[in-house]
Amino acid sequence: MDFKVNCESIPLSESVFSGTQEQSVELEYILPDYFPDIFKLVKCRIIPRISSKNISSDKAVYEITADIRVLYQNEHSNILHCINQKLSYTKTIDFSRPCENAEVTLVPKLDYVNCRAVNQRRLDIRGAVSIKADAVCMRNQEMICDAFGMNVQLKKIPVEYVARKISAEKTVNINEELELNSSKPSVLGIIRSDVALSANERKVIANKLVAKGEAVIDILYTYENETGNGMETMQFTVPYSQIIDADGIDETFECITEPEVTLCDITAAADSKGENRIFKCDIVVSISCRAYKTAVANIVSDVYSTLYPCEFSSSLMRSERMPVVMNEKHQAKSIAEYNDGSIKCVSDVWCSISNISIKINPESHEAFAEGNIQYSVMAENEQGTVMLIEKDEIFEHTIRYDGIAAGSIVSLRAKPESCSYTLSSDNKISLKADINMAFTINTAEVFNAVTEIIPDDSVKKIRDGDYALKLYYGIENEEIWSIAKKYSTSVTAIMEENDLECDRLKQNGMILIPITG
């Protein structure tokens, strides 16, 4: 039997872990002697961050840090105080099979937090965080791309796939001493410190990726001087850059970079005059890089022989395509109301995003995102009492991309870029938030691939008559391949005999089927 098959090795992605892990957060905290007694709890926050991860062939071990911040007041002063504690936990995910160079994605979120004062010096904090974990591994699959001999006819389909994927990650330490503006009062205590990141630029050089961006640091602090006490805000912008080693990367790769804060410690320090006018910033940013190079292969999806019986095996395959990142801007508005009097002044506003859910509509190629924005307003009423006004609002955002289909996976990282306010009346605050929405669209092509061809050369096909041409009534949009396979002839012969230009019939009607050997 003179028959030969050519195969091509195509890398396919395979999930080796997908799930959600939970971690309880519990803390019993006794105030240090230098903190005043607790009279009123104002706010308790937990910010979960992935501080490190280590990936081996059969598992991934990572550390999650719960950054706990509690705001409170004592009985004899209107000044806010902030307690900041960090708890770390080690978690493990086991892969379903051994895997080299697995790509692991971890997305933490806060589920809930409760805080109560057991007494004036003791706090009881209970909460929970969850981590959405996904691990993907690449495996090579041999697929038939050509066959010769035994009069076999092949139906081929072009399949786009990720020919090579490079994943790399590196941290950058931002250690800065930032000085207060001369018009600002000295720092008594830090109430809020948040960092927003932007990846402004990336450049590929031989085997390396240069990532640049900015860290925008927002700080709310308290002060006390001869004129009284109160709160002030400061904002600093610090550039960062890092060179990431990525063996094999060059300009032919498409790259996606994602910066993430893994540590944020900001403390007040004294200047040369002994006044707390310096902020010491210790920020760690983890920059992950994923680089893709795509290719197209012509894969055999169906087969038959014009002369011999021919059996074959096939399987459904799933080929990953390069993710598409769509960055969109969303502006959300709301109104917060104070029902116990009038608002004297607003010290700071900020917002956070939670409870994001996404639905896709394959027919319209759209993805619908919905989530919650929590606005926080630090203000004073006419009696000078500090208060925290919070308002929850639902946001919705829709994107359209032609590649969104059944089986597509769309994820969203929504980060507030700015939050502003306007006092619209003596007890109402108009709020506006600008949110950067980074949608990642993961698509894949599911196709039928022939995995084995077994022609039988011991016997020839028996035809139903001795003829060279056959009349056939075809219907509109009928595939020429199906007709040729049914009558054991070739697609080329039918198209040439009937002057056809495409692989489907354009209209109903009679056609001639030449019988080839």
**Exposure letters 304-325 (e unless 16+ CB within 10 A, then b):** bbbbbebebebeebebbbbbbe
Question: Between the CA of residue 181 and those of 51, 185, 230, 238, what are the distances in Å?
Answer: 32, 9, 16, 16
Question: Residue 517: pLDDT band by 50, 70, 90 thresholds?
Answer: low
The C-alpha angle with vertex 174 and arms to 247 and 101, in degrees rounded to 5, equals 25
In tens, the pLDDT along 324-348 reads 999 999 999 999 999 888 999 999 9
pLDDT in tens, 468-485: 788 889 899 999 999 999
Question: The whole model's pTM is what?
Answer: 0.85
Distance CA 395, CA 425 (A): 24
Amino acid identity, position 44: C
pLDDT at 182: 87
Does residue 85 surpass a pLDDT of 90?
A: yes
Residue with tokens 């096939």: 314
CATH code, 462-514:
3.10.350.10
Q: Report which residue type is found at 132.
A: K
Count of helix runs (H) and strand runs (E) in the chain: 2, 22
pLDDT higher than threshold 80 for residue 466: no
pLDDT value at residue 205:
86
Domain ranges of the chain: 10-139, 150-321+448-460, 324-442, 462-514
16 in Cβ contact with 28 (< 8 Å): no
250, two tokens: 């060059």
Neighbours of 345 (CB within 10 A): 13
Instruction: Name the more confident of 62 and 382.
Output: 62
Residues 6+ apart with CB under 8 A from 94: 17, 58, 59
Reported as a single tens digit per residue, the pLDDT across 109-156 is 999 999 999 999 999 999 999 999 999 988 888 999 999 989 999 999
**Is the pLDDT score of 498 beyond 80?**
yes
User: What does the alpha-carbon distance between residue 439 and residue 366 come to, in Å, rounded to a whole number?
Assistant: 12
Whole-number pLDDT of residue 278? 96
Separation CA 225–CA 184 (nearest Å): 11
DSSP letter for each residue of 226-257: TTEEEEEEEEEEEEEEEEEE-TT--TTSEEEE
Q: Distance between the two ends of the chain, CA-based, in angstroms?
A: 17
- Count Cα atoms within 13 angstroms, Cβ side, for 342: 6
Longest dimension (CA), the chain: 112
What is the amino acid identity at position 393? E
Q: Is the pLDDT of residue 71 over 90?
A: yes
Looking at the DSSP bridge assignments, the partners of residue 271 are none
Looking at residue 225, its pLDDT comes to 87
CA distances from 169 to 105, 164, 237, 323, 428 (A): 12, 17, 23, 18, 46
Torsion sign across C-alpha atoms 308, 313, 316, 318: negative
Nearest to 216 by CA among 200, 233, 239: 239
pLDDT at 398 over 70: yes
Percent of the chain with pLDDT over 90: 71
Mean pLDDT of the chain: 92
Q: What is the pLDDT of residues 407-463, one digit of tens each?
A: 889 999 999 989 999 998 888 999 999 999 999 999 888 899 999 999 988 888 887
Chain CA centroid to CA 199, Å = 15
The single-letter code of the amino acid at 508 is N
| In the predicted structure, residue 200 carries a pLDDT above the cut 80 | no
- Closest to 201 in 3D by CA, of 243, 149, 146: 243
User: What would the pLDDT profile of 296-330 be if each residue is shown by its tens digit?
Assistant: 999 999 999 999 999 999 998 888 888 999 999 99
Average pLDDT value for residue range 70-91: 93
pLDDT of residue 392: 94
Joined together, the tokens standing for residue 383 give: 């009696």
Q: Which helix (H) or strand (E) holds 425?
A: none
Classified as helix, coil or strand, 38 is: coil
Confidence of residue 1 (pLDDT cuts 50, 70, 90): low
Query: 3-state secondary structure string, 168-181?
Result: EEEEEEEEEEEECC
What are the pLDDT digits (tens) for 203-241?
888 889 999 999 999 999 999 888 888 999 999 999 999
The DSSP annotation for 441-490 comes to: EE-EEEEEEEEEEEE-TTSPPPPSS--SEEEEEE-TT-BHHHHHHHTT--
